[in-house]
Amino acid sequence: MSNIEQTLSIIKPDAVERNLENEIKEMFKINGFTILKEKKIQIEKSEAEKFYKVHETKPFYNDLCTYLSSGPIVVMILQKENAVKRNRELMGATNPKDADEGTIRKKYGISIDKNSVHGSDSIDNAKIEIDFFFKDWKFLI
C-alpha cells in the first residue's frame, strides 16, 4: 500500500547564501521527492522564535532564531512515499560531522548550527510546520 506523505523542508540561510539552492533541490528530485510548493522568503526573528518554540529552553535557542532570520530561506513542501522519514535520512545527522556520506548535511553543512537544511521530524510536526508557512495549503491525504 502506498503511503504518500508531505513534509516541510527549509534550505537555511547558510546554503542560500552559498547559492546551493538548485543543487539541494536537485538532490530532493533525484531522490524521488516532488516539490509541491516552494517560496523564497526572509522571516522575522519573532517568526523564527515561533517556528522553533519546541527548542525554547535550549541554550542555542536565541542564536538559532537569530540565524534562521538572518537571510533568505527557501521553504518547500516535499512529497514522497514516507516523506518525513525519507527526508530525515537524506538530510543526515544534525551535526554534519556525524552525517553519513551522500547526505545533504554531509555534503553541504558547515557546522551544527549552519547545517544547511531543516526537515520535519514527525508527521504531526510536518502538518504543523506546513501550516506555519503555507496557511492555505490543503492536505491531499
Per DSSP (E only), the strands in 2-135 are: 4-11, 34-41, 73-81, 117-119
C-alpha cell recorded at residue 51: 517556528
Residue number, 79 or 87, with CB nearest to Mg ion: 87
Residue number, 26 or 98, with CB nearest to Mg ion: 98
Q: How far is the CB of 126 from Mg ion (least distance, A)?
A: 11
Q: Which one of Mg ion, ligand IDP, none is in contact with 64 (Cβ closer than 5 to 8 A by kind)?
A: ligand IDP
Cα distance between residue 79 and residue 6, in whole Å? 4
Q: Which one of Mg ion, ligand IDP, none is in contact with 65 (Cβ closer than 5 to 8 A by kind)?
A: none
DSSP 86-100: HHHHHH--SSGGGPP
CA-nearest of 36, 29, 9 to 91 is: 9
Residue number, 39 or 97, with CB nearest to ligand IDP: 97
Q: Which one of Mg ion, ligand IDP, none is in contact with 60 (Cβ closer than 5 to 8 A by kind)?
A: ligand IDP
Instruction: State the residues that interact with ligand IDP by CB under 6 A.
Output: 55, 60, 64, 94, 112-113, 115, 118, 121
Q: Quote the distance between the C-alpha of residue 55 and its chain's center.
A: 15
CA-nearest of 125, 123, 116, 78 to 95 is: 116
Active site residues: 118
Instruction: State the residues that interact with Mg ion by CB under 5 A.
Output: 121
Q: How far is the CB of 1 from Mg ion (least distance, A)?
A: 28
